[in-house]
């Protein structure tokens, strides 16, 4: 079954791996599945062909002949449930790994996006200067809880799983900020995740894609 995903024709990050196709590439690399990438421009995103795949007009999407999916969480879970390598076999451990995927997407990612968003679009609002410290505190509380859970462990719950892949993908968004400076446990966790050969391959693939002539 051949797998096709969509990615920005040119990611605005210039190949830093921050767009959400990287997490799909990473999942596919972890399970050893080849894939091809269909580049889409910002105009393509709003055309009927793409909207039929993702009603919100966004990347990434995933097609494998049997199913067409959108939402990076659903795609990573589908890959993890279809191919061995990203979820434990034992039902309870498997369910816990899935809960970490949700934790990444619904507990950690939203305060990160909120903080990022206010920096982009709300800078000239009179309340911006007051709001940023509140948002940073909110995020730091979550990061501290995550670090406390991780403790001395390499991964969130036993072996590396789809939960770690998603959590690390989310934390990568704040890697270039000072936010992890006070959470060395998380900085080390992220470094471990980034050192995985599958992540390196995914990162290099998106980088060469986004810097192609």
Min dist CB 30 to ligand GTB, Å, is 18
Nearer to ligand GTB, 150 or 170 (CB): 170
Shortest Å distance, C-beta 15 to ligand GTB: 10
| Interface positions, 50-69, toward ligand GTB (CB under 6 A) | 57-60
Record the tokens describing residue 20, joined without a space. Answer: 């959400």
- Window contacting ligand GTB (CB under 6 A); options: 5-13, 118-126, 181-189, 202-210: 5-13
> CA dist 39 to 33, 61, 65, 114, 206, Å?
19, 11, 18, 27, 11
Q: Which of 18, 93, 144, 187 binds ligand GTB (CB under 6 A)?
A: 18
CB of 212 to ligand GTB, least distance (A): 16
Confirm if 1 and 196 have CB atoms less than 8 A apart. no
- E-strand stretches of the chain: 4-8, 36-40, 61-63, 68-70
115's enclosing H/E stretch is: helix 109-121
> Quick check: 19 binds ligand GTB (CB under 6 A)?
yes
Instruction: Determine if 71 is a binding residue for ligand GTB (CB under 6 A).
Output: yes
Question: Which of 3, 10, 13, 192 forms a contact with ligand GTB (CB under 6 A)?
Answer: 13
Do 144 and 184 meet the contact criterion of CB atoms below 8 Å apart? no
Q: How many angstroms separate the CA atoms of 63 and 16, rounded?
A: 24
Q: Report the interface residues with ligand GTB, using CB under 6 A.
A: 11-13, 18-20, 45, 57-60, 71-73
């Amino acid at each position: 079954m051949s797998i096709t995903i969509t990615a920005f024709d040119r990611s605005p990050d210039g190949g830093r791996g921050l767009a959400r196709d990287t997490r799909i590439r990473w999942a596919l690399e972890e399970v050893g599945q080849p894939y091809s990438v269909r580049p889409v421009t910002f105009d393509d995103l709003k055309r009927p062909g793409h909207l039929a795949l993702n009603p919100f007009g966004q990347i990434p999407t995933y097609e494998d002949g049997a199913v067409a999916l959108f939402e990076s969480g659903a795609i990573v879970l589908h890959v993890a449930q279809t191919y061995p390598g990203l979820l434990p076999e034992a039902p309870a451990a498997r369910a816990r790994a899935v809960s970490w995927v949700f934790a990444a997407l619904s507990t950690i990612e939203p305060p990160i996006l909120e903080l990022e968003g206010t920096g982009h679009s709300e800078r000239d609002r009179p309340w911006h200067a007051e709001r940023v410290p509140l948002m940073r505190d909110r995020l730091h509380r979550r990061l501290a809880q995550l670090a406390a859970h991780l403790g001395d462990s390499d991964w969130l719950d036993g072996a590396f799983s789809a939960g770690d892949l998603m959590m690390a993908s989310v934390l990568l968004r704040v890697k270039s900020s000072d936010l992890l400076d006070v959470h060395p446990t998380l900085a080390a966790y992220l470094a471990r995740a980034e050192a995985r050969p599958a992540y390196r391959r995914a990162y290099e693939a998106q980088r060469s894609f986004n810097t192609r002539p």
